[in-house]
Amino acid sequence: MRLLYSTYRGKIMTVVQHDKNLMLVYAVEGYAKKHHITEKKTFDIFKKHKIGKSIRKFYNVLHTQDLDENVFFAEDVIGVVKK
């Protein structure tokens, strides 16, 4: 099996790694818009709750869903951590 690669800022990454990054970007933008906060504040929240790591960990399931599910997933993870 041949893996496809993409580059960003001189770094080589697989298409799957690239997709994971795009899913995280979509989650940050969607969460910020939904909660009426800046992307910077959203990123800080995501970093605090390790949302990026969680999205990457559950990529195999999340990539089969609508992109909006990434926002719902982040909300669920943040909600579980806050309880």
- pTM, rounded to two decimals: 0.80
Residue 14 in any domain: the answer is: no
Between CA 61 and CA 72 the distance in angstroms is 13
Residue 28 in any domain: the answer is: yes
Per-residue model confidence (pLDDT) at position 1 = 45
Q: What is the pLDDT along the chain (83 residues), one digit of tens a residue?
A: 455 666 666 777 788 888 999 999 999 999 999 999 999 999 999 999 999 999 999 999 999 999 999 999 999 999 876 54
Residue recorded with tokens 């993870």: 77
Residue 5 in any domain: the answer is: no
Residue 7 in any domain: the answer is: no
Between CA 14 and CA 36 the distance in angstroms is 33
Between CA 20 and CA 50 the distance in angstroms is 14
Residue 8 in any domain: the answer is: no
Residue 46 in any domain: the answer is: yes
Residue 25 in any domain: the answer is: yes
Domain containing 43 equals: 19-82
Between CA 21 and CA 52 the distance in angstroms is 8
29 CB-contact burial (10 Å; exposed 0-12 / middle 13-18 / buried 19+): middle
Total domain count for the chain? 1
Residue 47 in any domain: the answer is: yes
SS3 46: helix
